[in-house]
A and B are shown apart, each in its own frame.
Chain A
């Protein structure tokens, strides 16, 4: 900490306990921030693309996660550095907004930071760099719009959607059966999509996983799958044409929220109370029965007595069903969630064609399938796989694929993948750069170079010579004026991404560029870091 002295040589204290705080200022601050950002990008760099590797993360509690998903890696690695945390945020916001491309966005930001460092060393003011980047990102986004294609699809022709989802899945461990999974994801999205409003509520797609079996057994269920079983072991395991009462009140004696006491002082009172209690249970079950329910799904627990009464009256019931699941069941079956027995009416019951219990493996695991619902707008993707980590990774991959399909329904423009879009943008930005007077020109050129970071990483991960491959592809793009040339990661023999069927969504790509630029701008603007000493 630099000390300020007054005319008598005594130091001014400006910041409390300043001796124990470390401080970085000016260019040094920017450089150290940049190097932190780059370090994060370097970790993710090897996970990019179809030949990208996975990371193994061990949580503070010793649980192991193996993943390829940028957002998950960053979230779980528990970073301590402030700038690194910004990068984590960046990946997360891409995940929330788009769902896919979480690795790419970090790699791009890393590239931008690397270029910025060079510019700073040449004495260009960080704000000028930031402004140049801003201009360049606008150019790139507009250019993307120009090279994008409209992808026509409808409910019968889902092939284009499937192929885009396959591009996303090909970088994950599940690429063994990417076709099946992509189809499942697209079908699921189409089932819940509102094509007129061009909107998809992904909450209606439930992803449920169970270890055992193989990945190929993963299935799409037009209905809901609940990891619960019937409350009484002797209730029927299969119900056809079920009328479902969806309750959020327990089959238990009432527990008023206000504090109260029931005093018993005579034998009569004791007896009436007892009869009351019996009648209470009886009434509850009778009410369900009266409205014609053939299945009760309840958020709370059952008393033993109530449980038996339900069983006795031949009314199968499921207890302890989670709130989210309850909502999904209500949506799927067209029923209403009923908070009180008094409010049960026949109209509020949900309808389902088949409700069945299925058991797995040698343990007592059972799950409840609710299928052929009145309103098939809620679906479940049921994932099987060899081990827990595999299931978790598959869940994340499916989530990515679902997001991609949703984005396409919102906006059916696509750009070509394999780094071709980045290269094309880079070429466009580079050629525009010359038209800008002033220092920004350098920043814009640097932006073009930074865009190359993504195809470069792709080539590197695929075992190709990065610089050689990139320059060859770039030359080809300019020569043939064809923005579909990308990096041939799978060694197919052509680097035309149209022929390879590698697509990405336009909004995903645009978002990547915009988000990365924003974060880099933010990092560049920091010129003073004050942190308390650790010792």
Chain B
């Protein structure tokens, strides 16, 4: 093919200047030596952009890449278009070639690293990031004003500008590193001696949260790594589903991936690792099922089980000082639910002041509201109407209705009619024979006054949850119309009174019909303490209510992990083939949890774990880590228990997440959506 263009090619190789002539699609022999085929193709494609007299310089330089211990030859290509001689230089993108076929990783799927040298674009295939940086530095040293960016430029660009594609080893590396970083982040919060984290929000007020709860920490992180997002997600699900074990699940998944990384580096295929992990997870679950204890039949024992579980959960939280007190609170509260899973009927009210030990469980219901002025402060044998209705101005709801009058007198009339309407409504409410009226919406002064006149206690603006709970507690229905007083179910309670907690006045309903609901009032030194206490208590309540539903119990303190690890180890010995490595790795990952607990407590983990393992070799051992004495202890005597459901969820979702991440061999990140500038 002849394009009718003759180009002079000047090649500077070292100090030697080679001159060649470019003709259509070919280059003189002198240049062909090191101009590789694909570069020619590139030049060929752009030939139409070149005009007569265009000049091309090709310069050779050498870079040393320490990670692969290899010298790479770089070819810098300069093109000056003849047409625009002297003024500006055309942009061309040329492949910067290196004889990387000699590199061991000279695979077609290597990431491509682009170096931008205005106005030329060079691309190099360099396998390691460190090497890329060195390369960039070297080019910078040569004073070419390089702008370096790691973009996935390709010969045929498939994706949009800022999209990146990571393949093979690199994709796996990105996954592993991201997941492990997340796991390491929350690792230090695990166990009774785990430390807390301070989270500062990026919002305007820079609010601060101090927490030990894995799910809370992860929820507040802004993460870019997709694999890390998977871990954050499992932690969130764990929180929603069983409420506790949010840290363990992330740590276990992280450990599974850490072990998998080692296996991948000795060339075991991820699919083999996955099938090994699956077998191991199944085996571990069965091991737990065999050793599980169920005391559902014996209410006395079951209650002690619950106490133990609550204490174990709370011991890793801020409440650990008064864990007995709070465990009793939580167990009492959950026992009142009588097997119902509805945690909404347990209300937690936080009031700063006092100390944590002053917190108490109240049998009745406490509403954080004030009683209207001039209304009775104390009512015995209250009949309560719980309502959700407008008590400000009862508007006409028919669309398009509006008032149009032609004189002041009429306005007064209509105002009077409105007042009458309200009065009538209040009258209707009063005719229910109640002495307490609680509304979700506002109550204006006028109806409030009317209620006061009728000797009715009116409480306005109770929030939605409060209303629902009140309905539940007092056994009344939430009413919005008041035409049939005889058929509306009223709520009852023995006593309504205003009480003081700290400096705040609250309304206390005691002697309610339904015993299910109760209120836990938390006291503490600061809001941070209270928030954390609420989270801890919530964890404990969740776990307890789940245990009530599924009463199987295990020992804690690393005991379940050791039991599983032992069984899994045995399975590994029985399994032929490469899978057994993966199964062994699973067992190591399981042992990482007691190791972390010990490490966090400042104990000699290696020593402890080996002792623990020896102990577990005996049949029916109940040994676990006793963090207090720093030795192996009998979990049965120490009364450290955990719910089976939590452990099972940790095991299954961690394995599932690890499996998902392991299966990935390519990450494609789309170009981020452009924010529209509103400036």
Contacts and interface: CB of A to CB of B under 8 A. Distances in A.
Interface of A: 1-2, 22-24, 28, 32, 35-36, 39-40, 42-43, 46, 51, 53-62, 64, 66, 68, 73, 76-81, 84, 173, 176, 211-215, 232-234, 252-256, 259-267, 270-271, 273-274, 276-278, 280-281, 303-305, 307-309, 311-312, 359-365, 385-390, 393, 463, 535
Interface string B214-235: 0000000000101101100110
A93 to B, nearest CB: 19
Contacts of B269: 51, 463
B660 A81 contact: no
Q: Which 5 pairs across A and B sit closest by C-beta, in order of nearness?
A: A308-B480, A53-B665, A386-B653, A60-B673, A212-B241
Nearest to A258: B400
B398 A56 contact: no
A167 to B, nearest CB: 17
B520 to A, nearest CB: 16
Interface of B: 3, 44-45, 48-49, 91, 108-109, 154-161, 163, 165, 171, 175, 224, 226-227, 229-230, 233-234, 237, 239-243, 269-271, 278, 341-344, 388-390, 396-406, 410, 413-414, 416-418, 421, 468, 471-472, 477-481, 483-484, 487-488, 542, 545-546, 652-653, 656-657, 659-661, 663-673
Contacts of A363: 240
Contacts of B342: 359
B416 A60 contact: no
A271 B390 CA distance: 17
Interface class of chain B by DSSP? mixed
A422 B155 CA distance: 31
B667 A271 contact: no
A265 B404 contact: yes
A77 B166 CA distance: 12
Contact of A62 (B224, B477, B664): B224
B402 A264 contact: yes
A267 B400 contact: no
A54 B665 contact: yes
B233 A388 contact: yes
A393 B230 CA distance: 13
B155 to A, nearest CB: 7
| Most chain B CB neighbours (cut-off 10 Å) among A255, A259, A274 | A274
Main secondary structure of the interface of A (DSSP, over half): mixed
Contacts of A78: 159-160, 163, 670-671
B160 A389 contact: no
A88 to B, nearest CB: 10
Contacts of A255: 399
Contacts of A389: 230, 233, 660
B206 to A, nearest CB: 23
Given A53-B270, A253-B398, A277-B397, A364 B344 contact: yes
A323 B242 CA distance: 33
Contact of B659 (A46, A58, A173): A173
Contact of B401 (A42, A273, A312): A273
Given A58-B669, A362-B545, A276 B230 contact: no
Contacts of A281: 481
A387 B234 contact: yes
Nearest to A280: B398
A36 B159 CA distance: 11
Contacts of A64: 226, 229-230
A361 B242 contact: yes
Contact of B396 (A23, A66, A212, A273): A273
A201 B542 CA distance: 42
B479 A312 contact: yes
A276 B410 CA distance: 21
Given A234-B471, A390-B656, A84 B158 contact: yes
Contacts of A56: 171, 175, 226-227, 664, 666-668
A176 B240 CA distance: 24
Contact of B48 (A23, A58, A68, A81): A23
Contact of B668 (A42, A57, A84, A262): A57
B313 to A, nearest CB: 13
B396 A233 contact: no
B158 A81 contact: yes
B413 A267 contact: yes
A39 B158 contact: yes
A270 to B, nearest CB: 5
B396 A277 contact: yes
Given A53-B270, A233-B478, A361-B241, A68 B230 contact: no
Nearest to B421: A274
Contacts of A32: 45, 156
A213 B241 contact: yes
Contacts of A271: 417, 421
Contacts of A387: 230, 233-234, 237, 653, 656-657, 660
A120 to B, nearest CB: 14
Contact of A264 (B3, B241, B414, B664): B414
A385 B410 CA distance: 65
Contacts of B158: 36, 39-40, 77, 79-81, 84
5 contacts: A32-B156, A58-B667, A77-B668, A212-B241, A256-B400
A54 B154 contact: no
B414 to A, nearest CB: 6
B271, B416, B471, B481: residue with the most chain A Cβ atoms closer than 10 Å: B481
Contacts of A62: 224, 672
A204 to B, nearest CB: 30
Contacts of B401: 261-262, 264, 273
A419 B272 CA distance: 21
A58 B233 contact: no
Contacts of A359: 341-342
A42 to B, nearest CB: 8
Contacts of B344: 364
Contact of B399 (A2, A77, A212, A256): A256
B664 A1 contact: no
